[in-house]
Each structure stands twice: as structure tokens, then as C-alpha cells.
Amino acid sequence: MIRAEYLIRTRDRHGIRILPQLVVLGAETSLGDPKLGGPIVTEAYNFGCIKWRPRTAENAVYHDLSVGTFERRGVLWFRFPTADAGMEAWGRFIVAEDYRDALNSERWELFAGRYYGESIAGYAAYLNNMQLLAAKFADRAALAGWAI
């Protein structure tokens, strides 16, 4: 499960605002929920659903935190040793793969088009879910008096 300290640390270390983190991690793994997020959460600590790729100089900053791969339904995903490592890798991934600006400016369509893939089946539902989550989290934070 994703804890508040992970979100705060990712904001402080990688410059990713908390609302966009909640939206993406909510869309990908239901915020690390063991049941809804499934084995990618419980066995691989891959909260952002980062697909495995060969190591390069550009991706070494997050690749090197992994301890191998996790196969699910024919797809290889990164496996991380702990929840802390999984969240750190996700923050590094967002920065290294140049997603941060689209996330922080809440340009969900631009972000989802690259992260999920516009040509992938389910893209419209994914984008809609992101937009709904963004509105829901922003409303709840505002009601509580929080700036996220």
C-alpha cells in the first residue's frame, strides 16, 4: 500500500506534485491496494506499472533499483525489492522518461497518450478514469483544506 510518506518523498526528491501522483498511482494500481492492484503490487512493488526494458544509460537511474522482472499475462514488468524502492523507481522513471512536466501541469491527455498509449485498447477509459480521479482527489483535498 502506498503511504503518504512515499508521496511526500517523491514530491521532495523528484518534483512531482502530490495530486498527479495520486491520479497515476490510483489509475495504475488503486494506490497500491493489494487486492485491486494485484500481484504487481504484492509481489513486485511496481506501483506505477513500469514495463521492463533493457538497461541503458538513460534508464539506469530506475533500472538499477530493480531486482529482476515479474511476468503477468505475457508482459514483463520491473520487480522491486521493497515498497520504498518501488516508489523511488517510479519517481526516477517519471523524471528520466520526461513525464514530469505533463503530470505537474495536469495535462492528462498528453501524459496518458505517452504513458498508456493512445493506440492501445482501453486508452479512452484510462484517460477518463484519470480525469475522474483528478477531480475526486482535488475535491476531497479542498474540503479538508489541503493543498495538493
- For 50-80, the pLDDT digits (tens) are 999 999 999 999 999 999 999 988 999 999 9
Helical packing angle, 18-29 and 4-14, nearest 10°: 120
Q: Is 80 helix (H, G, I), strand (E, B) or coil?
A: coil
Element (H, E) at 70: strand 69-72
Q: Read off the pTM.
A: 0.92
| Dist. CA 129–CA 110, nearest whole Å | 14
Q: Give every CB contact of residue 1 below 8 A, 6+ residues apart in sequence.
A: 31, 32, 33, 34, 83
pLDDT of residue 73: 87
